[in-house]
Amino acid sequence: MSFLSVNLPLVALLPFFGAPLAAFAARYHRLASAWTAGLVTILSLLFLLPSARFPFNGDTLIQSWDWIPAAGLEFAFRLDGLALLFALLILVIGLLIVIYARYYLSDRDSMGRFFAYLLMFMGSMLGIVLSENLIQLLVFWELTSLTSFLLISYWQHRQDARQGARMALAITGAGGLALLAGILLIGHVVGSFNLTDVLAAGDEIRAHSLYLPILLLILLGVFTKSAQFPFHFWLPHAMAAPTPVSAYLHSATMVKAGIFLLARLFPALSGTTEWMWLVGGAGLLTLILGAYTALVKHDLKGLLAYSTLSHLGLITLLFGFSTPMATVAAIFHIINHATFKASLFMVAGIIDHETGTRDMRRLNGLLKYMPHTAVLAMIAAAAMAGVPLLNGFLSKEMFFEQAVLASDTSMITWAIPVLVTLAAAFSVAYSIRFIHDVFFNGEAKDLPKTPHEPPRFMKIPVDLLVVLCLVVGIAPMLVAGPILAVAVSGSLQTATPDFSIALWHGFNLPLLMSVIAMAAGVWLYWQRQIIYRLHEQLNERFDGKAVFDRLLSQINGFAAMITRRFDKGSLQHAALWIIGTAVLAGVIGFANQSAPLFGERALLPIDAISLMLVTGLIIASVLTAVLHRQRLVALITIGVVGLIVALGFVKFSAPDLALTQLSIEIVTIVLLLLALFFLPQLAPAESDKTRLWRDGGIALLAGGAVSVLAMAVLSRDFMPISGFFIENSVPGGGGTNVVNVILVDFRGFDTLGEIVVLALAGLGIFAMMRGLKLPAPKLDFSGRDWSNDPHPPIMQTLTRLLFPLMLMVAVFIFLRGHNLPGGGFIAGLIASVALIAQYLANGIDWTSDRLRFDMHKVIGFGLLIAVMTGVVAMMLGYPFLTSAFTYLYWPVVGKFEVASAIAFDIGVFLVVVGATVMILVQLGKLTHEANHRQQQEQK
């Protein structure tokens, strides 16, 4: 397999693999994590570059592996011009951010945590832009929301950071749900989730009756992620993040994800009136609102945040024009905005870092203290304002040209050019303010620090970006022309239209609009005090955050009202609603059934053993309910219920289920015994007789309904699916134990999901009980003192002798599982029981000194092995988790089966052992610590 056939997944996934390395490296040296993050970013860039020739040759590189073929899902990556442009922006600017952040973060900041989060976010963005499959793209899309939440809330001690992160996650997460629905509808219409098929089916999608719902859902995802009106307000509040994060999120990532999706789905969704009104309207409103608000912000990062909103609105408006040349202008401005906005955010971070404030009312006259930084800021701000000889001027001229062309076909011919000129004037005004208020305008006032230039290497990323603004502005076709051409071709999925980027196009209307915007911008800045006073009067009324907070408060109030109505703090009350609703739904279903309730299938005769099992089950269940106040007795009787169920499995030839049931019963009994140690031995008596009769009636009604439903199903002839598994167990999975083959082969996805849930449950319970202090009981049920000898010598000796035997049984059950009753899950439970028995018999301290296994690592290795089993299959060209088997002939042993599913089963085994032992030992530690405290008190 050649390198070029697998490099795209490496580009996207390498940052995820590098994230734990960056976190781990910080243990050895504070700066080691920064070096690790930089090297990982460079490696991803090196893996990407060899494939860059494909887009420049007019080809699209697709690398795919089957994931779930039956559902049309693939693990697939795509590299065309659009993906190449965004991947380069993500990696190159990401590398500059890593260098910059190494100097920005203080000694108090956790470098390992920061760079781990940054790499995960970088990998999520690369996954979005390189994905060929829309479902896969959505997974990475949601990962950007989660990782950006971690980055924005990096300074966890700050309330504004926590609130900003929650707001960003809530809004982008809601948009992600809408995007999921839109993608599912696209898959329904096209019959595929692959972008190659979707982009080729544009006419089919636009002609379909579901086009408008698809468009609305997709745009909800786009607008929330890219902070377009009316979802714009979350982005400025994300400024509580460290400045390197803000620079990265605002220039090349996060908010650009929505813009990327607009460009990516442009061939499939654009060209309709609905597209132009929705996309163009949101873009125009965001453009004007962001430009106006940026001028009135006194915080440097606040000004830049709202200017980002404005420029994102500009790009969105260009896509809303829905023409090839507007797409050229939009993608060109994406490149330009990334360069000057990243440099400006870094300048803002330098100013904050070296002066201790970002308030422009205090930051004045910094030119004489920070001349180098001032020059960089002036050039970048001039590019943002659209000054000639800089890259921002060129894309602004193209934007004006497209606005003029769009007005020719608009009913309001003058509105678009006038509004975009107004927005450009505000852009000039806030750019002037960024320069004049900070570096001129008198002397600084009460700065927390004495201003000075930052370290040299902290300025190098800004130097490079500012030079790029100049070079692109002076020689645009030479520097930006080639990558712009292939990116536009990737977005349009057709040949790139002829375009020319030059400094001079003669005297025309776009040039006049630029001149007007420059002059008006200077005037607006001159009259800024009037605008400030007007904004103060309107701010509270039209503050998006205030609206969001009110809506959130109303939702929380409604949820609290529902909780008060339906949750009385009683398990009985909650069970009543659940069971009652189920019974009501069943009654309605039966009432609407026109066919006979029961079928004509003959019932099997009742034999003596079945009758004994059912009778014992009924008696044990009734005793559990009757004696429930005596908690230990109730635990014993419910254990009898589990034992009888296991015997039922044995009778009906289900030994795997019987072994699993018995193992789970033992683990559950131990868990409940440990929990009962902290609970009163007698439950409170029920004083309300009416409630007893009511609960009894509902229980009988529910039980009767389930019985009737079971009879209705079993008395009819049906075709079970067991025949398929029995026929294909050996030829398809290489094992005669059908149950185990189903778990590790046919239902491998389900089993993988189940062990992930089990691992999360174990980790969650461990976290909840860690540090918990509970009082130990002093007297038993009879009023006697608790024994001070919780580890009898007989039990200690017996368990130590049985421990090797129990582990041998677990290994035996594991190895035979593919062909005889057993498997990783049952073996894991048996091994867990062996380990727990040691803890119970010999104590926490004695056992921990001899069994030095970190169960966190056991769980991690188990999940890693299970996942890698599927990944290896994909690398060999098969669907994820496809198993293989063969037969070997060994001397003496004879014919012997070797199956790859055993590796997956090892993963299951380790997760079961790790999670089970972690939960029970942590609960046992609570008991141990409670007894220890009690003994200390008695002394």
> Residue 457: CB partners within 8 Å, gap ≥ 6?
99, 102, 103
Rounded mean pLDDT, 157-174: 88
pLDDT score at 739: 84
pLDDT score at 927: 64
Q: Between the ranges 32-46, 362-376, 541-555, 752-766, where is the mean pLDDT highest?
A: 32-46
pLDDT score at 578: 83
d(Cα 920, Cα 668) in Å, to the nearest integer? 10
Rounded mean pLDDT, 357-375: 88
Name which of 40, 46, 30 is nearest 88 in CA terms. Answer: 46
**Which DSSP letter does residue 499 get?**
-
Show the tokens assigned to 716: 């009819």
List the alpha helices (DSSP H) in 386-508: 391-408, 415-439, 456-474, 476-479, 481-492
Q: Which residue has the tokens 């972008």?
A: 195
pLDDT score at 217: 96
Show the tokens assigned to 336: 């330009």
Rounded mean pLDDT, 81-109: 92
Show the tokens assigned to 28: 């050895």
pLDDT score at 491: 92
pLDDT score at 283: 93
Q: pLDDT for 47-69, tens place per residue?
A: 999 999 999 998 999 998 887 77
Question: 219 vs 168, 225, 256, 547, CA distance in Å?
Answer: 17, 10, 14, 21
Listed range (90-94, 201-205, 813-817, 866-870) with the worst mean pLDDT: 813-817
pLDDT score at 574: 79
Backbone φ and ψ for 594, nearest 5 degrees, come out as -85, -30
Rounded mean pLDDT, 522-548: 76
Confidence category of residue 929, pLDDT binned at 50, 70, 90: low
Q: pLDDT for 716-737, tens place per residue?
A: 877 778 888 888 888 877 788 8
Rounded mean pLDDT, 837-844: 78
Show the tokens assigned to 302: 């606040």
pLDDT surpasses 80 at 616: yes
Choice between 210 and 797, residue whose per-residue pLDDT is larger: 210
d(Cα 822, Cα 388) in Å, to the nearest integer? 75
Question: 733 vs 213, 815, 823, 887, CA distance in Å?
Answer: 43, 15, 14, 13
Rounded mean pLDDT, 472-495: 90
d(Cα 197, Cα 741) in Å, to the nearest integer? 35
d(Cα 536, Cα 551) in Å, to the nearest integer? 23
pLDDT score at 786: 60
Name which of 76, 150, 85 is nearest 115 in CA terms. Answer: 150
How much is the mean pLDDT over the chain?
85
pLDDT score at 1: 44
Rounded mean pLDDT, 403-416: 70
Choice between 184 and 589, residue whose per-residue pLDDT is larger: 184
Choice between 505 and 215, residue whose per-residue pLDDT is larger: 215
Confidence category of residue 379, pLDDT binned at 50, 70, 90: very high
Q: pLDDT for 322-353, tens place per residue?
A: 899 999 999 999 999 999 999 999 999 999 88
Show the tokens assigned to 452: 């000075």
Length of the chain: 939
Report percent pLDDT > 70 for the chain: 93
Q: What is the dihedral of CA 712, 713, 716, 718, to 10 degrees?
A: 170
Q: pLDDT for 656-665, tens place per residue?
A: 888 888 888 8
Show the tokens assigned to 13: 């996934």
pLDDT score at 20: 92
pLDDT surpasses 80 at 851: no
Confidence category of residue 835, pLDDT binned at 50, 70, 90: confident
Q: Which residues pair with 729 in a beta bridge?
A: none
Rounded mean pLDDT, 562-572: 76
DSSP structure string for 181-230: HHHHHHHHHHS--BHHHHHHTHHHHHHSTTHHHHHHHHHHHHHHHTT-TT
- Measured N-to-C along each axis, helices 391-408 and 371-385 cross at an angle, to the nearest 10 degrees, of 20
Q: Which amino acid appears at position 296 of this protein? A: V
Question: 763 vs 710, 913, 932, CA distance in Å?
Answer: 37, 13, 25
Q: Which amino acid appears at position 552 of this protein? A: L
Name which of 372, 343, 370 is nearest 468 in CA terms. Answer: 343
Show the tokens assigned to 46: 């090196």
Choice between 832 and 888, residue whose per-residue pLDDT is larger: 832
Q: Is 727 exposed, middle or buried (0-12, 13-18, 19+ CB in 10 A)?
A: exposed
Q: Which residue has the tokens 């003192």?
A: 785
pTM for this one? Answer: 0.83
Q: What is the dihedral of CA 552, 556, 559, 560, to 10 degrees?
A: -170
Report helix, strand or coil for 601.
coil
pLDDT surpasses 50 at 615: yes
CA 487 from centroid of its chain's CA atoms:
28
pLDDT surpasses 90 at 85: yes
> Residue 482: CB partners within 8 Å, gap ≥ 6?
56
Question: 209 vs 185, 268, 419, CA distance in Å?
Answer: 11, 15, 34
Q: What is the dihedral of CA 424, 427, 433, 439, to 10 degrees?
A: -110
pLDDT surpasses 60 at 932: no
Residue 546 backbone class (left: φ over 0; alpha: ψ -120 to 50; beta: rest): alpha
pLDDT surpasses 90 at 715: no
Q: What is the dihedral of CA 17, 18, 19, 21, to 10 degrees?
A: 110
281-309: b (≥16 Cβ within 10 Å) or e: ebbbbbbbbbbbbbbbbebbbbbbbbbbb
Q: Which residue ranges make up each domain of the chain? A: 735-939
> Residue 2: CB partners within 8 Å, gap ≥ 6?
none
Rounded mean pLDDT, 535-558: 75
Rounded mean pLDDT, 304-311: 92
Q: pLDDT for 856-865, tens place per residue?
A: 888 999 999 9
d(Cα 263, Cα 316) in Å, to the nearest integer? 9
Show the tokens assigned to 324: 């090839």
